[in-house]
Structure 1
């Protein structure tokens, strides 16, 4: 697998080197310093490494993608935890002893944390859909923002992440081996407060309550630490778990999961794991939910069925000061969010949305106005995106990994494989005829000392955007769109399709297929690099094979734009 990835990367790497030679450069010139700002304890070391060698980001992204589709879930989690350089112990413990041990580890991990820490984080990441009323209000907001970020910076390290992550590994291993749980139950039902339906087992332990539901239709109006349901079309009303853990396993049925904030597989100063093994399921929540880690670890795994995921902010594979994973193994699924969603990461966070197969829809609705730039467009900050709190705190690692299917991605401002401020945002879509539609800072876009990446490996794809998109690096950042095969269409307005701006580096590289490249403005697109702040930017558009149509060039031709901008059609 890794040999194949290396060989594939080498095939286009040779063409990139040859292209750069026409403007007196080589791959060694695709690099950034890592000392533009002082580092802080929340910046992942891999981010500095990738900024120094941005082209290695393709290898890094492919390694995460390979892990998700070839390793056991507990090993996937271990792979992500390794990014933190903490090396927690991976322990496989007896059922109840493992639960007791995890409970102790979580309590120890968060014992020194200020009570208001997650409230501060919430105030920084929840937005109002209404625009700012006045300049005075804006100034007050800036003062409050600085104060909140300072508090977050000073107190975020008070969580013992090594203990927290150790607990998450123990609990995920226990969840994956639930068929071996040593719980004896029979067909006699019992009445349990907060549950309507057939209950076969109940036990109260020091770490919480254990419950097993039968094969009928149950309604769970309260949460339990350990929940196993054997079948039926069930309804779960999920609540907040702060400073503890939950494991919920549902073996069959078309189920509904409902919650408010901090619910449905949200690890909030703790660990929350949901595994749904079959059925057409619906997940409905508001903010910080549906595979979300906020100073914790949240894992949602859905193994089959045509599912719907509906949330607002910080949802569907989102992590901030923790890890959030949403993994869907099969079915034609719909993901809908509004902000900080669908493979999103904030500071010291990793957020992954992974979908193995099916024709899926990734939709970010228009809710939060982007008043800094537009009054008729909306912030997305989603779909393989990461952002920090500039200039104090770095971003994290946010990714969408889609293995197969004809998929539809819809966003607006900041989406679809992009990032902002010392982070990494990426989409890897391995197969299918896909549509990517968004407006600005999208589709392989890096903005302000960061890396944005979109890799589409196979299919006839459509890319539609306005600007700072489709392989664009802005302000000491790297943006890369790599399409490996298929007859593709690229449509943009300006500063796109292999564009470097303000000392950024942008690359659009299409390996094969008969493609079309359309732009409105040709002076800063399709291989454009400007000269600013006493040195240059690099913009590269490369099409290796196929009968292609351009706004600027023609087949088997080369063109130059700006000081270090080049477009080339090799065959």
Structure 2
């Protein structure tokens, strides 16, 4: 998987960076830089500080990494490798990924255990029924800490305030209400919310799906909201289960208000909307074959959830996913999961899509095929406050695009907003950031992105991007991209093997300033770009086999050859002029 020696190589980064600091006679300056960053963390730790930065929604792992930046690269390498290995375990992938998310979100360990293989279609169907009931009970426990009046305040405001009213990535149009909503989300029992998702997770195992595919399809029920064959209907305390036939069906999911689960046995199907919210807090869609089309404009669809838990499993076919906001493995105060097992798929959305979370977990996993992803903002492995967002495409030559819709709000970096592809970001003057991760298992990939994207951290967030192999192109059209940290953020980008091209000039760049403190060169941003193997090209002018400090004392770009590569150049590169952020 990628470079087999990567773990050991990255562990040596700390020694190499320390040697570089000594060579430049700036060791004391770097220590002061790190100490000041730690001091700012201490001074801003309280929930109310009188400053625009407070400690609400701050994650312990972020705090640890920012206080120990030289160890961050090695920890990030181990974390992303472990996370990708968990995804590759098809039988237990979701259970393992959710366990990792729990740890990083400061939640207690799960009691979920490995489920034995399903032995028959009826047993698999019984597991679906039991999972829905267990998920509904855990969801109720998750919201129990909120009063009825708090729920009435949070439910109608979460989407407009945290999503639809906004066209800039770094903050909200209504920051006061946004802070209030984040405070309410902090009261939710996120451990119980993940328990609801863990109840559904075993259904993603291939043995369960193969048994479900053998369910009889002889029935022909008439159901308002479904065009095509419905083979069976089952009513449970958690909602209705529909079994769709093997022909082509159309499901108008928002007309099926009592339906909590659709299992479709095959055919080229169409799924319209299907919101997951307080009115339908658990939603499960399992499609077992065909070239399917998922489309809608409502939030909380296609494995998206608002104050709920949603999971979409598509087992085969070349599929098209079209949505607007909060969709395709995305969550607002909940858990959203989309897992596509095969085919050449296309994903299109606008805001908070494709592995995004604010107050919960958002997961998009695509196991195979040459896939295309398009989004405008807060997408493709994005972690907002108290969020863990993951996009992992395991194989294929893939194309990712994030940005292109709204103007960047910072006049010194003209361009378009991006905020995606492995970005952890807080909301300025509202809440600290979460953890955003994008992983790609291999293939010759193209990444297009605008401002603050691809392995980026902002406002006390952690963002990571990792490509395990292939000749990749990183096509930046905005500033602060490709392993960058800004406003006390930490961003890391790894690429292993292949002849890669990095456009733009921000590779591994750490902004020198943090606007809310008076000493703009004293610390707060840390950035890493590490590329091992291949003949690579960098828009910032770096050469192969190079160690550079980028921007402030916290920015690093390291390119090293594989052992079997002959290049032995030693490049001395002057420290670039510090840029204003």
TM-score (norm 1): 0.83
Q: Residue deviations 1:534-568, cap 9 Å, x none? A: xxxxxxxxxx9726xxxxxxx43535548999xxx
Q: Call closer, same or farther: CA 1:400–1:563 in 2, change over 3 Å.
A: closer
1:116 aligned counterpart, secondary structure: helix
- The aligned counterpart of 1:551 is none
Equivalence map 1:306-455=2 (5 Å): 306-373=344-411, 377-438=415-476, 439-455=478-494
CA contact (8 A) 1:88 1:166 kept: no
Q: Call closer, same or farther: CA 1:297–1:103 in 2, change over 3 Å.
A: same
1:167 aligned counterpart, secondary structure: helix
- The aligned counterpart of 2:24 is 23
Q: 1: CA distance between counterparts of 2:487 and 2:45?
A: 15
Q: Is 1:122 matched up with 2:159?
A: yes
Q: 2: CA distance between counterparts of 1:289 and 1:479?
A: 29
CA contact (8 A) 2:73 2:528 kept: no
Q: 2: CA distance between counterparts of 1:89 and 1:19?
A: 43
Question: Which segment is superposed worse, 64-73 or 279-288?
Answer: 64-73
More strand by share: 1
Aligned residues: 516
Question: Which segment is superposed worse, 260-269 or 38-47?
Answer: 38-47
- The aligned counterpart of 1:234 is 269
Equivalence map 1:105-144=2 (5 Å): 105-111=138-144, 112=146, 113-126=150-163
Q: CA offset at residue 364 of structure 1?
A: 2.0
Choose from 152, 160, 173 the match for 2:202.
173
Q: CA offset at residue 13 of structure 1?
A: 4.1
Q: Call closer, same or farther: CA 1:186–1:262 in 2, change over 3 Å.
A: closer
Q: 2: CA distance between counterparts of 1:562 and 1:256?
A: 49
Q: 2: CA distance between counterparts of 1:499 and 1:19?
A: 9
- The aligned counterpart of 1:510 is 559
Q: 2: CA distance between counterparts of 1:239 and 1:557?
A: 56
Q: Call closer, same or farther: CA 1:318–1:563 in 2, change over 3 Å.
A: closer
- The aligned counterpart of 1:136 is none
CA contact (8 A) 2:423 2:436 kept: yes
- The aligned counterpart of 1:61 is 76
Q: Is 1:37 matched up with 2:76?
A: no
Q: Call closer, same or farther: CA 1:423–1:371 in 2, change over 3 Å.
A: closer
Q: Is 1:485 matched up with 2:533?
A: yes
CA contact (8 A) 1:414 1:440 kept: yes
Q: CA offset at residue 405 of structure 1?
A: 0.8
- The aligned counterpart of 1:257 is 294
Equivalence map 1:469-548=2 (5 Å): 469-475=507-513, 476-492=524-540, 498-501=548-551, 504-512=553-561, 546=567
Q: CA offset at residue 124 of structure 1?
A: 4.2
Q: 1: CA distance between counterparts of 2:441 and 2:431?
A: 32
Choose from 282, 301, 310 the match for 1:245.
282
Q: 2: CA distance between counterparts of 1:179 and 1:559?
A: 57
Choose from 479, 492, 495 the match for 1:456.
495
CA contact (8 A) 1:317 1:351 kept: yes
2:201 aligned counterpart, secondary structure: helix
Q: 2: CA distance between counterparts of 1:391 and 1:185?
A: 55
1:77 aligned counterpart, secondary structure: helix
CA contact (8 A) 2:509 2:556 kept: yes
Q: 2: CA distance between counterparts of 1:22 and 1:320?
A: 42
Q: CA offset at residue 91 of structure 1?
A: 3.8
Choose from 179, 184, 199 the match for 1:155.
184
Q: CA offset at residue 181 of structure 1?
A: 6.4
Q: Call closer, same or farther: CA 1:41–1:227 in 2, change over 3 Å.
A: same
CA contact (8 A) 2:213 2:288 kept: no
Q: Residue deviations 1:346-394, cap 9 Å, x none? A: 1000111100111111012411111431695111111111211224411
CA contact (8 A) 1:129 1:369 kept: no
Query: Which structure is richer in relative contact order (CA contacts within 8 A, separation 6 or more)?
Result: 2
Q: 2: CA distance between counterparts of 1:472 and 1:50?
A: 15
CA contact (8 A) 2:413 2:479 kept: no
Q: Call closer, same or farther: CA 1:545–1:446 in 2, change over 3 Å.
A: farther
Q: CA offset at residue 205 of structure 1?
A: 1.8
Question: Which segment is superposed worse, 331-340 or 188-197?
Answer: 188-197
2:392 aligned counterpart, secondary structure: strand
Q: Call closer, same or farther: CA 1:146–1:173 in 2, change over 3 Å.
A: same
Q: Residue deviations 1:114-162, cap 9 Å, x none? A: 223255443444366989xxxxxxxxx99x6342133124322231212
More helix by share: 2
2:452 aligned counterpart, secondary structure: strand
- Unaligned stretches of 5+ residues in structure 1: 132-140, 515-543, 548-554, 566-571
1:433 aligned counterpart, secondary structure: coil
1:410 aligned counterpart, secondary structure: strand
- The aligned counterpart of 1:524 is none
Q: Is 1:221 matched up with 2:247?
A: no
1:379 aligned counterpart, secondary structure: coil
Q: Residue deviations 1:205-243, cap 9 Å, x none? A: 221110111211111112531211111111111221113
Q: CA offset at residue 509 of structure 1?
A: 0.1
Q: CA offset at residue 450 of structure 1?
A: 1.4
CA contact (8 A) 2:385 2:426 kept: yes
Q: Call closer, same or farther: CA 1:363–1:563 in 2, change over 3 Å.
A: closer
2:328 aligned counterpart, secondary structure: coil
- Unaligned stretches of 5+ residues in structure 2: 47-54, 116-125, 514-523
Question: Which segment is superposed worse, 394-403 or 214-223?
Answer: 214-223
Q: CA offset at residue 189 of structure 1?
A: 2.2
- The aligned counterpart of 2:519 is none
1:126 aligned counterpart, secondary structure: helix
Q: Call closer, same or farther: CA 1:36–1:481 in 2, change over 3 Å.
A: farther
